[in-house]
Amino acid sequence: MLTGDEYEDVVRRHQGAPVPYPQEKPLHQMFAEHAARRPDLTAVVDDASGTTLTFGEPDRLSDQVARALRERGVGPGDRVAILAERGPELLPGLLGILKSGGAYVPVDPGYPSAHIRLLLGDCPAKLVLRGQGEVPEPPDGAPVLRIPDLYRGPAGPLGPTSGSDDVAYVIYTSGSTGRPKGVMVEQPRGGQAADVDATPLSDRTGRHAAPEDASPSTGR
């Protein structure tokens, strides 16, 4: 148990001063603006491969990913599953999906094939992005694209297609109490981590959802 003084120390004294954030800007827009201000600042360090990315690099690569996804018809309301280990490919993939207007669905590539197919079919995923590893064929035949293969073409920013009220991603529960359930999370507002939409996924897509023990599934 914390004493009163310890509570004040943890909750208030170490939180820093309040910082205003733009309420109307989605996460990927705030990232792009930061990258424009400080493009050479280190953003990603991958201990496994030794790869380092500055803020400018994933911003540029994610523009290319977003353009490739839009060319394939991805837009607001579409789900794009992403199966990639935590590493240099993950951030451009996630940002690229958001910039295209879609919502990403993180799926741990280490899951059993049957579990991956279940999640890909339940989302349902319009496209699937993958890292270096192979992934099971989606049950509905959604195209599977390797993230680095999309690093081509113009790298300039695209026009906006989504805003702060759109769904940013769908996270699935572990399924420890039964069938995994998807929870839709809107674009973060005011720099917050996320606001979980209280509307069940079943109310919007005809599929089930409930905010249980949701936890990110990219990486192990």
What mean pLDDT do residues 144-150 have?
95
Please give the CATH number for the structural domain made up of 26-151+162-205. 3.40.50.12780
Q: Does residue 204 have a pLDDT over 60?
A: no
Lowest-pLDDT choice from 12-16, 45-49, 99-103, 163-167: 12-16
Domain ranges of the chain: 26-151+162-205
- pTM listed for this prediction: 0.76
More confident residue, 132 or 161: 132
What mean pLDDT do residues 188-209 have?
39
Q: What pLDDT digit, counting tens, does each position of 13-41 carry?
A: 666 677 666 667 788 888 899 999 999 99
Q: Does residue 200 have a pLDDT over 50?
A: no
Give 201's pLDDT tier (boundaries 50, 70, 90): very low
- 3-state SS of the chain is CCCHHHHHHHHHHCCCCCCCCCCCCCHHHHHHHHHHHCCCCEEEECCCCCCEEECHHHHHHHHHHHHHHHHCCCCCCCEEEEECCCCCCHHHHHHHHHHHCCEEEECCCCCCHHHHHHHHHHCCEEEEEECCCCCCCCCCCCCEEEHHHHCCCCCCCCCCCCCCCCEEEEEEECCCCCCCCEEEEECCCCCCCCCECCCCHHHHHCCCCCCCCECCCCCC
pLDDT of residue 97: 96
